[in-house]
Structure 1
Amino acid sequence: MTSADSGTTVVVVTWRGADHLTGCLDALAAQSRPHRTVVVDNASTDGTATILAEHPSRPEVLRLRRNTGYAGAMAHVLDRIDTPRVAWLNDDAAPEPDWLATLEDALDSQPLAAAVTSRLELPDGSTQSIGVRLTADGHGADLTEPSDEVFGFCGGAALLRTEAVRAVGGVPASFFCYYEDTDTAWRLRLAGWHVAAAPKARVQHLHGASTNPGSPLFHRWNERNRLLMLLRCAPAGVAVRELARFAAITALLPLRRHRPDAANFDPALRLRVLAEVVLRLPRTLRERGRVGRISALGRGAIWEAWAGL
């Protein structure tokens, strides 16, 4: 299958995915709609390369010299996509055979939408995500109940218009992992695009097979990237408020006799997050300026329309 035969490139990012990658590739090979498959291997050392070389679907492979994270890999491959649509798919996700067809039809039917998100289901059958909402404090949170509209897409399984993503600045490679999808959705909305949901596009997701949700590293990336996303995309007052709130909670935590056990309430971790945000602040503010220049809608209008819903 060449890119000329299909309008979609499915990008699978993997890192040490030997234990679950075959299931993803098998599911892609069973899709009812033709497509191009590109696997970006983040310098795996666990036999992933052998699995990719021997899989009968013979996916295209882009092997990176170091682990650049999900965001870095997506950013790296975007310039190599020559199809009008690009799908994001986690390596621990196995879509149903009509998944891509359902997403393509949904995107084609909604010309104002730049992205369509899938229904991700956990192995026990429960719904992990049918889209992303924007909380009152600027977190991106998975929606698990049907909704007429979604703020953003879940990067675990979604379909996007390639040129729309490029036009709003691509994928934030420096995020490494987490919030690259919500940040991209923010910028698409600022540019005037919509994000749609296709709950009939079903994907079984192992969730956390490559990362460890709840770990200190997870919380470090999560907290840092939320603040960076707000500094890049949100109204200035919101971004400053949330950064100040994060700093204030961090300062007060050592004074509390009892504090939550979760890693994101560890003062040392939070101080590291603040340090990383401060070090990246000059670059982030330059990026904020670029986001402003491509925006057709005001940051405040997007925030008022979506935050807290």
Structure 2
Amino acid sequence: MTTSSGTSRIVLAVTEVSSTVVVVTWRGAEHITACLDALAAQDRPHRTLVVDNASDDGTAGLLAAHPAKPQVVRLSRNRGYAGAMAAALSLVDTPLMAWLNDDAAPDPAWLGTLEDALGSAAAASARLDRPDGSPQSLGVRLTADGYGADALDTPVFGFCGGAALLRTEVLRAIGGVPASFFCYYEDTDTAWRLRLAGHYIVAVPEARVTHRHGVSTRPGSRRFHLWNERNRLLTLLRCAPAAVAVRELARFAAITAVLPLRGQVPDAANFSPALRCRVLAEVVLRLPATLRARRAITRRSTVGRGQIWRNWTPSKLRPIR
């Protein structure tokens, strides 16, 4: 640059980085490179932090060799998606924190589109598409019995943890990520706590990601149903109106009790009495900590649990006034 006096001087342009993209991986050797390549092609500057859940399949070597040179934190054991995100939160020093699955490949404008659309919201959920181009999720919706399900319409109750952007300090202020969930419902629980604290969440269909859903956790497997059913009940006990949480826990226990008496039951892991008994046992063991967390969530809340439930669930089975 040349001044009016003719003296030349050098101006260093400093590009502000607003987001850290956190990628959690476990045995991701088959797909982590595609994820990192897509992040390297983003049109918005960012930091990339990969949390490796003690992979033993060569993932560590691929991370070290990748030309993008992401920051890598290798955990001593597999803490699941929730545990790894909780560990990453303490390391993020940017205003925004993006969550991204290791089997997801975002379009080049993904991050910039999320940042621009966030506005005053606490979180923004991207659009996840299957490899064939069909839509998988715009975010999370709540069902009448308290399940978190993929939403294909807007507005959405919560963000999908596979590809989303959150305000770092807001996430810390509501209690962070429920690390003990291991996997599944960490996004629904976090979104619920954001809603209770008076924040809102936007869906951004223009921020697109191709997602190879379930590569690591195998939806339909026994582990999937264990985590899914257990964490739904824990989320309800933490966040839902008390009547809803008690009703759904009692209903789950009642169905578990009558299943052995039925002549025929569906051949699916979530109808296995043994698995359902394990779910109940784990919920009971976690109940003291869960109720302490519920009280902490209540102290941070500015919106009533009943109001959130009425606003975001279908009317069927909804007893809350």
- Using the size of structure 2 for normalisation, the TM-score is 0.93
From 63, 88, 110, the counterpart of 1:99: 110
Residue 283 of structure 1 pairs with residue 289 of structure 2: yes
Match of 1:192?
198
Alignment of 1:1-309 (within 5 A): 5-107=16-118, 110-111=119-120, 113-144=121-152, 146-147=153-154, 149-308=155-314
The number of residues matched between the two structures is 302
CA distance in 1, matches of 2:62, 2:15: 26
Aligned mates of 1:55, 1:308 — CA distance in 2? 46
Q: Which amino acid aligns with 1:90?
A: N
Post-superposition shift, 1:211?
A: 1.2
**In 2: Cα distance, 1:181 partner to 1:215 partner:** 20
Offset, 1:4: 7.9
Over 3 Å off, 4+ runs: none
Structure having the higher Rg: 2
Deviation per CA, 1:36-56: give whole Å up to 9, x if none: 000000000110010000000
Unaligned runs of 5+ in 1: none
Give, in angstroms, the shift of residue 209 of structure 1. Answer: 1.1
TM-score by length of 1: 0.96
In the alignment, the residues of structure 2 paired with residue 193 and residue 204 of structure 1 have an alpha-carbon distance, to the nearest angstrom, of: 28
- Alpha-carbon deviations, 1:283-306, whole Å to 9, x = none? 100000000000011101100110
Report the Cα offset of residue 261 of structure 1: 1.2
Q: Tell me how far 1:5 sits from its aligned partner.
A: 3.6
Report SS of the residue matched to 1:26.
Answer: helix
Distance 2:187 2:278 in 1: 23
Distance in structure 2 (CA, Å) of the matches to 1:85 and 1:69: 22
Q: Distance in 2 between matches of 1:308 and 1:86?
A: 31
What is the deviation of 1:22?
A: 0.2
Percent of residue pairs identical: 72
Q: Equivalents in 1 of 2:314, 2:264: separation in Å?
A: 28
> What is the root-mean-square deviation of aligned Cα atoms in Å?
1.1
AA paired with 1:77? A
**In structure 1, the residue corresponding to 2:122 is in which secondary structure?**
strand
In structure 1, distance between residues paired with 2:248 and 2:291: 16
Deviation at 1:77, TM superposition (A): 1.0
Q: What is the distance in 2 between the residues matched to 1:308 and 1:84? A: 35
Match of 2:3 in 1: none
Query: d(CA) in 1 for partners of 2:94 and 2:202?
Result: 20
C-alpha separation in 1, matches of 2:216 and 2:144:
29
AA paired with 2:130? L
